[in-house]
Amino acid sequence: MNEAAGFIKGRARGESPARSVEPEVGLVLGSGLGPLAEEVENPLAIPYGEIPHFPVSTVAGHAGRLVLGRLEGRQVAVMQGRFHYYEGYSLAEVTFPVRVLKALGIKALILTNASGGVNPDFIPGDLMLIRDHINLIGDNPLRGPNDPDLGPRFPDLFEAWDPALRAVARRVAERLGIPVREGVYVALSGPTYETPAEVAFLRTAGGDAVGMSTVPEAIVARHAGLRVFGVSCVTNVHLPSGHPGRKEVSHQEVIDVANRAGSDLSRLLRGVLRSDWEGRA
């Protein structure tokens, strides 16, 4: 962790000795939601493959990079692309970058993803503020020995998803005229999409959207004492059995819808970054 963080700081200094890397906020951009990284001012982009101890990417064309710079007046560290459990990484590997961002000094983590709606009121393209999560990956990134310097053995996840940041986002969305939903994100391991029986189960269990990421990162961020905020782009909706509009999910559709919703998401996140976060709503 410290070697990775030290490398990133050294890279910044090498570029300009006066440059200090002190990101206040980390952002993780999910499938199809990467363009916000291109808007970072005075960017320093480091491919994941160059950072010591970062997992080695397996997916061609999904290499990913860390972009440091400024957005709406805040120092940010943006992860353009993430690691997923279904790729074969352990959850410790999936969440290692969150530890590195914490070591760089972030105080808050903003997570984004693409998901499938299990709430039948949702429509493709909806943005959902994450109120809570259900971890059904069947694993936990904190399994194993705990380093008390990083966080507690048994972290509390009550209000894991920062209510004040969510309130800020609701106000920003209203001001910008961006409709937003709010709900519970369920994480499964993937890579299969859900069966109709699983969708019915997830809905009964209290889920609104389902995906294959985000929850491990949120768990590690809370363990580290970071404030956590998240937005899920609902790219497809799993309609109930017998519904005439029901159809298969395709990865291409997920990417296309996320790309279309991406500009609203970017505007929303920029508005959140611009806002005052201290008023704990």
What distances in angstroms separate CA 7 from CA 12, 103, 104, 220, one per listed residue? Answer: 9, 12, 11, 22
Which structure tokens are listed for 247? 């159809």
Rounded to an integer, what distance in angstroms lies between the CA atom of residue 212 and that of residue 266? 21
- Answer yes or no whether residue 115 interacts with ligand HPA by CB under 6 A: yes
- Answer yes or no whether residue 127 interacts with ligand HPA by CB under 6 A: no
Tell me which residues in 155-194 interact with ligand HPA (CB under 6 A).
193-194
Rounded to an integer, what distance in angstroms lies between the CA atom of residue 78 and that of residue 266? 13
- Answer yes or no whether residue 85 interacts with ligand HPA by CB under 6 A: no
Q: Within its chain, how far is the Cα of 108 from the centroid?
A: 12
CB 83 within 8 A of CB 93: yes
Does the active-site annotation cover 212?
yes
- Surface-to-core class of residue 72, CB atoms within 10 Å of its CB (0-12 exposed, 13-18 middle, 19+ buried): middle
Mask: binding to ligand HPA, 231-260, rule CB under 6 A, as x and -?
A: ----xx------------x----x------
Does the active-site annotation cover 114?
yes
Write down the catalytic residue from 62, 164, 167, 259.
62
Does the active-site annotation cover 213?
yes
Does the active-site annotation cover 90?
no
Write down the catalytic residue from 113, 115, 119, 213.
213
Mask: binding to ligand HPA, 204-223, rule CB under 6 A, as x and -?
A: ------xxx-----------
Write down the catalytic residue from 4, 31, 169, 223.
31
Smallest gap from residue 61 Cβ to ligand HPA (A):
18
The closest of 113, 130, 112 to 208, measured between CA atoms, is: 130
Nearer to ligand HPA, 169 or 202 (CB): 202
Rounded to an integer, what distance in angstroms lies between the CA atom of residue 238 and that of residue 232? 15
Rounded to an integer, what distance in angstroms lies between the CA atom of residue 198 and that of residue 241? 11
Nearer to ligand HPA, 40 or 234 (CB): 234
CB half-sphere exposure, 252, CA atoms < 13 A: 1
Smallest gap from residue 194 Cβ to ligand HPA (A):
6
Does the active-site annotation cover 251?
yes
- Answer yes or no whether residue 124 interacts with ligand HPA by CB under 6 A: no
Residue numbers of the site for ligand HPA (CB under 6 A)? 114-116, 193-194, 210-212, 235-236, 249, 254
Catalytic (active-site) positions: 31, 62, 84, 86-87, 114, 212-213, 236, 251
